[in-house]
Amino acid sequence: MSRFAEPQDPLFRAINTSLSFDRRLWPQDLRLSRAHARMLARIGVLADDELERLLAGLDAVERELREGEFPFRDDDEDIHMAIERRLTELVGAVGAKLHTARSRNDQVATDMALFVREHAQRARELIAELMRALLARAEDHIDWPLPSYTHLQRAQPVYLSHHLLAHFWRLARDRRRFANVAELAGELPLGSGAAAGVTFANDREFLARELGFPRLAENSLDAVSSRDAVLDYLAAAAICAAHLSQLGAEIVLWSSAEFGFCEPADRFASGSSLMPQKKNPDAAELLRAKSPRVARAFAGLVGLLHALPLTYNKDLQEDKEALFDAVDTLELCLRVAREQLLALRFDRERMRTAASDEFMAATDIADMLVRAGVPFREAHRRVGGLVRFAVERGVSLSQLSDGELRERLGELEPAQVRAALALEAQLESKISRGGTALARVREQLEKARAELAG
Ligand code: ARG
């Protein structure tokens, strides 16, 4: 006899089951069960021969799962029940002892923390690979000028190396963020039971060592109901995916005929089913497009957790699909971003032509006036007037006569102004730390290499 007088309604089963998605947790669940069984033997709840039979049974279950031969049943509610059911079929009554002193509540919280810790580490590795690729491309294009933009209007020229490294440093922060994710997820929930703790003296320190957790969750109520590890992963993933979307968007823009700064490799582009001439940067577009999907996963989990009373509620079962989808999406995007970037061809001439817009020297000229004693606001006004004068006449600054320059700039020698208009002069004038002058970019490359080594 059990608590229930009637079997489950098929409709209830349909809404209650999580097996279709949480079967993915089987490696974590088996690892957990082995540690738990060893712990039970250690504290005298299982005899040594019982432990041996359980471990052998778990090995057999693992083989079946690994080879896709595990006989799932329609009435398996989730991966935890399926594994325990199969274990008991294989090893008999001793299988039914495995769930002593644990609940699916501390079990699933631990499986999820294990999963997050593994994939936070994986994200760190993939991010590092992409950072290495950015660094390599920056080294290859160290002195190729192009404009920087604000409001998508030409701002000031920079070197392509400098621009690529901008993406590098965002990813460096993402990589650290994922280190924090793994670190914070290092509190072991297992041993907390369903809610209040268990009546056995579970050796949780042993469990933590076995499962690679640096710390224990100190409160059983918190342990079984917190999904902070998942939230942290999703938050870090959403930020990282946003960064990748900016990289993707830039490649899309730059590979348009209007920009023409780069060209994706054929193997990362598609044609049009109608227009024979087309070569579309689909991979870059999808990097751009995947990011809201990851952000949605984070927002969805925040919504799920909102106002949820302690402790475990079945609502928590809904944390999984969002996490798995975000993990798969982010890991794929990181790999695509790297390969695509390594295969990208930059067009030196197109970038240089765009960078050879003398109006971008306006700030440098204003700064020259400042050095001659003119207050910056006044200098800004004078140079603005000079630019307007040239624009209205449809000429560049260097086409203005000495007289026209003198009249509007006062203190400055025309020859001095003309020298400042040269592209290299503009680039090399940005000597502040973190600026685009070559010496600064070389320093930055050094720091970037050190960041990767550390
Ligand atoms: N499949 C469940 C989940 O993912 C496992 C925990 C079930 N716990 C319970 N008290 N029904 O959340």
pLDDT in tens, 209-223: 999 999 999 999 999
Whether the link from the prior residue into 17 is cis, omega within 30° of 0, is: no
228 with 136, same domain?
yes
344 with 365, same domain?
no
394 with 292, same domain?
no
333 with 420, same domain?
no
* CATH number of the domain to which 53 belongs: 1.10.275.10
* CATH number of the domain to which 383 belongs: 1.10.40.30
230 with 328, same domain?
yes
Reported as a single tens digit per residue, the pLDDT across 289-325 is: 999 999 999 999 999 999 999 999 999 999 999 999 9
Q: Which residue out of 21, 29, 104 has the highest number of ligand 1 atoms within 8 Å of its CB and is therefore the one to mutate? A: 104
Average the pLDDT over 361-384 and give the result.
Answer: 97
Q: Is residue 255 in some structural domain? A: yes
367 with 449, same domain?
yes
- In 3-state terms, what secondary structure has residue 23? helix
C-beta of 24 in contact with ligand 1 (< 6 A): no
Q: Is residue 6 in some structural domain? A: no
Check if 356 is active-site: no
Confidence of residue 133 (pLDDT cuts 50, 70, 90): very high
225 with 324, same domain?
yes
Answer whether residue 274 shows pLDDT above 90: no
The secondary structure of residue 397, as a DSSP letter, is G
Q: Is residue 256 in some structural domain? A: yes
Q: Which residues of 363-386 are buried (b: 16+ CB within 10 A; e: fewer)?
A: bbbbbbbeeeebeeeebbebbeeb
Reported as a single tens digit per residue, the pLDDT across 71-104 is: 999 899 999 999 999 999 999 999 999 999 999 9
Category of 271 on φ-ψ map: left (φ > 0), alpha (ψ -120 to 50) or beta: beta
DSSP string covering 30-98:
HHHHHHHHHHHHHTTSS-HHHHHHHHHHHHHHHHHHHTT-----TT--SHHHHHHHHHHHHHGGGGGGT
C-alpha of residue 13 to centroid of ligand 1, in Å: 13
* pLDDT given at position 276: 87
134 with 74, same domain?
no
C-beta of 311 in contact with ligand 1 (< 6 A): no
Q: Is residue 8 in some structural domain? A: no
C-alpha of residue 59 to centroid of ligand 1, in Å: 24
Task: Return the residue whose CA atom lies nearest to atom 3 of ligand 1.
Answer: 317
Atom of ligand 1 nearest to the CA of 79: 1
C-alpha of residue 41 to centroid of ligand 1, in Å: 25
Q: Is residue 4 in some structural domain? A: no
51 with 118, same domain?
no
- Residue at which a domain ends, from 300, 330, 348: 348
Task: Return the residue whose CA atom lies nearest to atom 12 of ligand 1.
Answer: 317
Q: Which residue out of 20, 227, 313, 314 has the highest number of ligand 1 atoms within 8 Å of its CB and is therefore the one to mutate? A: 314
Q: How many domains does the chain have?
A: 3
- Residue at which a domain ends, from 331, 348, 365: 348
Q: Which of 20, 162, 243, 272 is catalytic?
A: 272
C-beta of 298 in contact with ligand 1 (< 6 A): no
Check if 151 is active-site: yes
* Residues composing the chain: 454
Task: Return the residue whose CA atom lies nearest to atom 10 of ligand 1.
Answer: 105
* CATH number of the domain to which 219 belongs: 1.20.200.10
Answer whether residue 435 shows pLDDT above 90: yes
C-alpha of residue 343 to centroid of ligand 1, in Å: 45
What does pTM read for this prediction?
0.96
C-beta of 33 in contact with ligand 1 (< 6 A): no
Task: Return the residue whose CA atom lies nearest to atom 7 of ligand 1.
Answer: 104
267 with 399, same domain?
no
Cα–Cα distance for residue pair 441/433, rounded to 1 Å: 9
Q: Name the residue range of residue 19's domain.
A: 13-100
Answer whether residue 1 shows pLDDT above 90: no
C-alpha of residue 119 to centroid of ligand 1, in Å: 22
C-alpha of residue 141 to centroid of ligand 1, in Å: 53
Q: Which of 36, 99, 119, 151 is catalytic?
A: 151
256 with 335, same domain?
yes
Confidence of residue 454 (pLDDT cuts 50, 70, 90): confident
250 with 295, same domain?
yes
